[in-house]
Amino acid sequence: MPPGLAILSVMLALGGLLLGVRAAQRRWALNPEHCRKTVHMGMGLVCLTFPWLFRTAWPVGVLAGCAAAALGAVRFVPRLKTQLGGVLGGVERESWGELLFPLSVAFVFLLAHGQALLFCIPVLTLTLADAMAALIGQRYGQARYETDSGWKSVEGSTAFFFVAFLSTHVPLLLFSDVGRLECLLVAVVMGLILSLMEAIAWQGLDNLFIPLVSYVCLTHMARLTPFEIEIRLVVLLLIILGLSFWRKTTRLTQSAIIGAALILYVTWAAGDWRWFIAPLATAVAYTFISRSPSVAQHKHTIYDVACIGGTGLFWLCLSQPVGTACTIFPYGVGYGANLGMIALAHFAHGITPQPPRRGVLKAIALGYLALATPYFIVWRDSPILASLALASLILVGLSVTAFSLWQSKSRAGGTTGNRWVRQLVISSLTSALAFCLRTFLF
């Protein structure tokens, strides 16, 4: 099918789905959550046809942009919100999931490079598991647990695990040459990782992180032996148990602890020990910083952990099509910039606040040395070591300085959500600049 005709067909299918659900909602007064999840599943099932409709990624990108723009218009344009907003915005909680859904699908399609399984398993998991968890949790949820974004149910999380397990196990078993035992073990690990991630996600961000993490884990674990997969399952359980004790010495909430555990685990399981250095060094340095509690006893939530780890997961995903050589440098610089900004906020709010200039210099030193030292030991024989060392120092210094200027009122609001948005923007731009330097200059 020509790309233009395929794009038109998909847009008509999605538009018909939205109008059909809205008509059914008006006729039978359907529950807003049921309508929302019906649209979610319908969009996902339509997206599963992409590997057979499109040979290149640009039509999917066009579709994602158009879908995000249309769904954004439904949310923000008053007339459209009146007509169609009840389908997507009729639930009480705030969620950006419908906007993130098409963007994450397009990104996974780009990463999959035409390999149908690498695209379909993440999208199928997101389509079915997330919707089933919400519906079962709402209808049967009795055993509830608290997260940073509210309450969720054990029943809903259990449903998510089993659907994610089947969404991985059945396609791998039927449409790949992966062994039967390996299929079973990969599906168990994937189900556990993704159900934990869904349990701590908020405001629809699971629509972004679930397919990306699913893709990263799938591309690495599908080629491992059963023993290697079993080791990864044991390590995941040990990391979660160890970080539960670690929580007592930091300002992280329980959801943030689980999020940190997942980032550490996914980085180790999907990458290798070189990728594990940055989050581990950041966690160790953060622990020492947190031993001196701030005056305002604010907790660091899963939102804060996601702002730090999200950039790292992006570069880990991109390492598959681009290569490790060009992505691990911006990956490390991004973590160094984040650590420097965390240190600066600590120096500004600590029991003995530092003068602004001294605080900036100490934060740059901590953010740079904590990450640079282990990496420079690893690549001590690299011919471009001096260039990378100087570039990373400048980039971390610029990010901490920019943060200190942007967050000029940090003493009044250093732990608010806006602070973490600023930190995410600065670290993302810094790591993007590091990628350009590594790719085109070094």
pLDDT tens per residue, range 291-349: 644 444 567 888 888 888 888 888 988 887 788 888 999 999 999 999 999 888 877 76
What is the reported pLDDT for 151?
76
Residues shown for the chain: 442
The Cα–Cα gap between 175 and 171 comes to 6
pLDDT at residue 60 in the model: 92
The DSSP code for 201 is: -
pLDDT of 236 > 70? The answer is yes
Instruction: Work out the burial of residue 273: count CB atoms within 10 Å of its CB; fewer than 13 is exposed, 13-18 middle, 19 or more buried.
Output: exposed
Residue 29 has pLDDT above 80, yes or no: no
Question: What is d(CA 227, CA 239) in angstroms, rounded to the nearest whole number?
Answer: 18
Residue 86, pLDDT > 80, answer: no
Confidence of residue 100 (pLDDT cuts 50, 70, 90): confident
Q: What is the pLDDT of residue 171?
A: 94
Q: Quick one: pLDDT band at residue 233, thresholds 50, 70, 90?
A: confident
Q: Quote the pLDDT of residue 298.
A: 65
Mean pLDDT (whole number) for 224-234: 86
Confidence category of residue 166, pLDDT binned at 50, 70, 90: very high
pTM for the structure as a whole: 0.76
pLDDT of residue 413: 42
Residue position matching structure tokens 């970080």: 243
- Res. 65: pLDDT tops 60: yes
pLDDT average, residue stretch 60-69 = 88
Average pLDDT of the residues in 196-217: 81
Residue 348 near residue 359, CB atoms below 8 Å = yes
Distance CA 189, CA 229 (A): 8
In the prediction, which pLDDT does 87 show? Answer: 56
- Looking at residue 21, its pLDDT comes to 82
